[in-house]
Amino acid sequence: MTGYALPIQRLIKELSKLPGIGEKTATRLATFILRASEEDARKLAESVLEVKQKIRLCSVCFNLAEGNLCEICMDHSRDKGLICVVEEPDSLIAIEESGSFRGTYHVLHGALSPLDGIGPDHLRLQEFLKRIENNKVEEIIIATNPSVQGEATALLINKFVKSLGVKVTRIALGVPVGGDLKYMDRMTLSKSMEYRRGL
C-alpha cells in the first residue's frame, strides 16, 4: 500500500477486513469511494452507522430487526406452530425469497464447531428450547447447512427436540434442479440417494 496517502491506506485496511475482500479488491473499492461524490460517500458512511445503531436481534427468533420484533414475528398470518431453524439471517432470507414457507424461524447465529470453540452454549439453543416449551409448536424444520458443522448442529437439535415430543424434519439435500449428475460431489449424491422420495 505504499504510495497511497495515509487516509487511503486506512480505508483500504478497513475495507480489507470485510469477508471475501482482499487487498486488491479493497484498493479498487477505496478508489471508487474516492472518485464518488461527497454526497454518495456521506450516504455510504451514514448507512453503515445507521445499521450499527438501529439493527438488533428479534427478541423471539433472533433474526435481524429494527425494533423488538422482526417483520416475520409481527406477521399474524404466519403459522406459529411451524419453526424453521437456520444458522444465519442470510439463510432465512434465502428461504423467504423462495416464497415456499409461511411459518416462523429461529436463527442460531452459527453452527457447532468444537475445533473453533463453538459449542451448544454459543448458539441460541436455550432460547429455542424455551420457545418450544412455551408455545404450541407442531413441527421443527431443521435447515442448517449441509456441512459437517451443520449436520452436527441438526443432530443436536433433533436430540433436544425429540425429547419434547415435537415432530422434527430436515430439509432435503441433494442434486439441485438443473444440475448434472456427472458434476456432483460424492456427498451430494450420497444425500440425494438417502433423501430420495416416491413419485
Kindly report the length of the chain. Answer: 199
Domain extent at residue 133: 77-194
For residues 181-189, give the mean pLDDT: 78
What pLDDT sits at residue 1? 60
Q: Where are the alpha helices (DSSP H) in 55-199?
A: 71-74, 89-98, 125-134, 148-162, 186-194
Query: Would 63 be classed as within a structural domain?
Result: no
Q: Which of 48-62, 83-97, 142-156, 180-194 has the least mean pLDDT?
A: 180-194
Query: Would 62 be classed as within a structural domain?
Result: no
169 in the same domain as 86: yes
C-alpha cell at 167: 415432530
182 in the same domain as 102: yes
48 in the same domain as 81: no
For residues 23-43, give the mean pLDDT: 94
What pLDDT sits at residue 66? 94
Q: Which of 65-74, 87-96, 188-197 has the least mean pLDDT?
A: 188-197
12 in the same domain as 50: yes
Report residue 196's pLDDT band, with 50, 70 and 90 as the boundaries. confident
pTM over 0.75, yes/no:
yes
> For the chain, how many structural domains are there in total?
2
Pair 167, 132: CB distance under 8 Å: no
- The radius of gyration of the chain's CA atoms, rounded to the nearest angstrom, is 21
81 in the same domain as 31: no
Of residues 170 and 179, more confidently modeled: 170
- Is the pLDDT at 189 greater than 70, yes or no? yes
121 in the same domain as 184: yes
Pair 192, 146: CB distance under 8 Å: no
